[in-house]
Amino acid sequence: MAAEAGIACAGLHKAFGEVEAVRDFSAHFASAQTTALVGPSGCGKSTLLRLIAGLDMPDRGTVAIDGQPPERLRERGAISVAFQDPSLLPWLTAARNVALARKLARQPADPALVARLLQMVGLGQFAQSRPATLSGGMRQRAAIARALVTGPGVLLLDEPFGAVDELTRRQLAQDLPPLWHEMGATTLLVTHSVSEAVLLSDRVLVLSPRPAQIVADIDVPLPHPRSPALPDTPAFHRIEAQIRAALSHALDAA
């Protein structure tokens, strides 16, 4: 039987001592789609991403990516993560931090791609700067460039624009999705911003308060590339309202 394409999560459970972070989570994420995960703070979103990345093991349940366990894919740079804490190597420049991801994935060096990605995330002038001399938002952007440089099949972004100012955020929301679409990446994105979820994704999963369970699965049938004017349209507002209603319903039911 052919392996199922995309990401398949089946019956995931994860507890930290007494704290149950994820309970019986099952979902399928289609190849090359972008899905946003939204839910109350502490509901288990980051835990889910870590399980899907193979950075944590579930207590029960399985994750399969194109039929394979995530650990195996991560080794060859097929899964990239950009988490809230960018964890760049302090002794390397921004450009070298980005380039290192290709080396670790045993891919040939590609300085032109490194330069293009740094330019795209607005760090063209800072390629030779070390992390300590960059702001928190700049370090996050370097981490996004690092996540994209291997041309990953799976891209996991946890609040990737959390420390980024509003204007740059808007620019990144404009520039980055075409890039990950071009790569054909299956992208999961955790965000606290409902409008960002709609703007960036094809599908939004609304999660309950901890332990994370799906309370709404909402399609975003808006064409790509998304125009800067899209957030002012009635279609956009309708989807935002649907997500907000599902979030309040989940909080009321808790």
Ligand X SMILES: Nc1ncnc2c1ncn2[C@@H]1O[C@H](COP(=O)(O)OP(=O)(O)OP(=O)(O)O)[C@@H](O)[C@H]1O
**Minimum CB–partner distance for residue 152 and ligand X (Å):** 21
| Contact flag: residue 251 with ligand X (CB under 6 A) | no
Among 47, 150, 186, 191, binds ligand X (CB under 6 A): 47
Among 74, 102, 139, 210, binds ligand X (CB under 6 A): 210
| Contact flag: residue 44 with ligand X (CB under 6 A) | yes
**Minimum CB–partner distance for residue 211 and ligand X (Å):** 8
Cβ neighbours of 140 (radius 10 Å): 25
Q: Tell me whether residue 56 or residue 240 sits nearer to ligand X (CB atom).
A: 56
Cα 144 to its chain centre, rounded Å, is 10
CB-based contact 52:205 (threshold 8 Å): no
Count of residues interacting with ligand X (CB under 6 A): 12
**Minimum CB–partner distance for residue 119 and ligand X (Å):** 30
**Minimum CB–partner distance for residue 192 and ligand X (Å):** 6
| Contact flag: residue 189 with ligand X (CB under 6 A) | no
| Contact flag: residue 46 with ligand X (CB under 6 A) | yes
Q: CA-CA distance, 216 to 218, in Å (whole number)?
A: 6
Q: Tell me whether residue 44 or residue 77 sits nearer to ligand X (CB atom).
A: 44
| Contact flag: residue 86 with ligand X (CB under 6 A) | no
Burial category of 10 from C-beta neighbours within 10 Å (exposed 0-12, middle 13-18, buried 19 and up): middle
Among 23, 45, 141, 146, binds ligand X (CB under 6 A): 45
| Contact flag: residue 208 with ligand X (CB under 6 A) | no
| Contact flag: residue 125 with ligand X (CB under 6 A) | no
